[in-house]
Structure 1
Amino acid sequence: MQDFLVFVSAIMQVDVSQLSGNTKYKEFKKWDSLMHMRLVMEVEDKYGVEIPIDEVPTIVTLKDLYRYTLPT
């Protein structure tokens, strides 16, 4: 997960030490609705996955988003 957090920190332009799997959408200043969609698109692009649009609202923590990067 550390590599994933480094990836996300680069997108959010924050130090990786500010992030964890428990970092929450809308509670972390840099993670607003626009960043939410950007993260989804960046994860899809980097990891070659497709996150169904109806599941996007269920992504609340970085751990939730990270799950989409794992092999099924």
Structure 2
Amino acid sequence: MREIICKNCKAKITPDEYDIQFCGCGVYYRRKRGFHNGWTLTGWWKGSVSEIERTRQATRPRKPRVRSKRL
């Protein structure tokens, strides 16, 4: 298989058996449709950002909840 060169960070990505390939910089590629034999930039992967945000939310200091009195 041919290596994919990332358009964002110029890193070489070795494709495996899957049709979507991720780069370390957050870009992902998919196989071209039709009779073309190549790869195209598909979008930006936000997975790492949300994992960091999830960890930050889980470890943030919390204020004690104050319940309101209902009349």
Q: TM-score, normalised by structure 1?
A: 0.22
Higher strand share: 2
Higher helix share: 1
Q: TM-score, normalised by structure 2?
A: 0.22
Larger Cα-atom Rg: 2
Higher RCO, 1 vs 2 (CA within 8 Å, ≥6 residues apart): 1
